[in-house]
Amino acid sequence: AFAEQATSVPDCNFSLAWHIPGFADSERLDLLETLITEAEQKSPGAKDQHRYFGADKSKVGHTVTYLHSVADDEVLLDLWAAAAASDEGAKWNIMSSVDSKEERLRLRCFEAIDYVSSGDGQEANIGWHSDGHTLLTTAIMLSDPATDFEGGSFEIRRPAATTPPNDCGSRLAPDGSGRGEASAVLLRGDALTWRGWDEHRVAPVLKGRRRVVVLEWWADAEAGQDAPNQRPNDSLQGWQLARRIDPRAASLPRAQAEHYRAAGNLQQAIESYKTAMTLDPGDSLCLNNLAHVYGEQGSFEEALATYRASVKMDPKENAPRLGLSNMLRDMGRFQEAVG
């Protein structure tokens, strides 16, 4: 649902994303296409990643061309204008929350992303995911949906319980699902900006090619022209900053828990998963991950109880049922494991 430039739920002041129609005029569009060509010529490895995130990996996914090696400061400052206008228009106040005297946030990555249908029934698809602790992400559409592709709308969601305390929660999920969603079909030259930690996806591209450029802005190190062709990893400091900015975002403590888990800090991971569950009580996969960590910690009874709670929450989800069965098997309770 759109109200001019705001991507939000009707009658609610909370903006999930900010839409700037026609941000990229013909001069900007030509510049972006030129940068893509230069990147591909300068570094053959600039286009070498196929990504799927939460989507079915039997689908086509998308390909990525990294552009930071060919973008100078003038270009980046020009494109930053979309994120800055969105931050102000949506009243997220990201820039004012970062202790910086710089003209803009630092660039995390600059990518051209192609979603191309194979034409044989395989859809170019990408599942629900977040951009980690990226503060602002801007996508600029280079293709024309009227002629270049079918499908491929942008979708974004957030649990109703994690909206700011402005009485939006009940209206974010009138169907009782617990999540508010909004979607956008971008025209050529349109820009759309969102906060990186809010979950989003691109619906399947059914025909043709959907091309966008995406800039992620954060407070960590700048991706300069000599940076490798990859997206930098999240950092603990970055998670902490994002959580200070948006303490009600369930995706942030959930992702921070995964960071702690990978580092072997299991107790901190448990506490972060619990925090995420208080913000999004209906997240069965977060509960499943919490059960995993209990098992890794050797707290087997807590793990069993948590797996069972996750199965009860979403009986159709396979991961909690498999985790429960594996845990029972590892404990030697074979009859229960196959029951």
Instruction: Write the pLDDT tens digit of every residue in 164-220.
Output: 544 444 333 333 344 567 788 899 999 999 999 998 988 888 889 999 999 999 999
pTM of structure = 0.85
Selected residue with higher pLDDT from 236 and 307? 307
Is 66 within 8 Å of 46 (Cβ atoms)?
A: yes
How many other β-carbons are positioned within 10 Å of the β-carbon of residue 274? Answer: 14
The helix-helix angle for 251-262 and 284-297 (nearest 10°) equals 20
Selected residue with higher pLDDT from 253 and 158? 253
How many other β-carbons are positioned within 10 Å of the β-carbon of residue 39? Answer: 22
Whole-number pLDDT of residue 206:
86
Q: 102-147, pLDDT tens digit by residue?
A: 899 999 999 999 988 766 545 556 778 899 999 999 999 999 999 9
Going by pLDDT thresholds of 50, 70 and 90, the confidence category of residue 36 is: very high
Is 118 within 8 Å of 179 (Cβ atoms)?
A: no
Quick one: which of 17, 309, 301, 331 has its CA closest to 182? Answer: 17
Selected residue with higher pLDDT from 12 and 82? 82
Is 337 within 8 Å of 314 (Cβ atoms)?
A: no
Q: How far apart are CA 75 and CA 132, in angstroms?
A: 24
Q: Any bridge partners for residue 183, and if so which?
A: 155
Whole-number pLDDT of residue 6:
45
Q: How far apart are CA 188 and CA 183, in angstroms?
A: 16
Whole-number pLDDT of residue 10:
41
Q: How far apart are CA 291 and CA 270, in angstroms?
A: 9
Selected residue with higher pLDDT from 121 and 290? 290
Going by pLDDT thresholds of 50, 70 and 90, the confidence category of residue 48 is: low
Q: What kind and span of H or E run contains 157?
A: strand 154-159
Whole-number pLDDT of residue 45:
59
**Distance of CA 87 to CAs 39, 63, 91, 94, 167, Å?**
29, 28, 6, 6, 21
Q: 232-288, pLDDT tens digit by residue?
A: 999 989 999 999 999 988 889 998 999 899 999 999 999 999 999 998 888 898 999
Q: How far apart are CA 301 and CA 327, in angstroms?
A: 10
* pLDDT score of 15 more than 50: yes
Mean pLDDT of the chain: 84
* pLDDT score of 42 more than 90: no
Quick one: which of 110, 106, 105, 104 has its CA closest to 38? Answer: 110
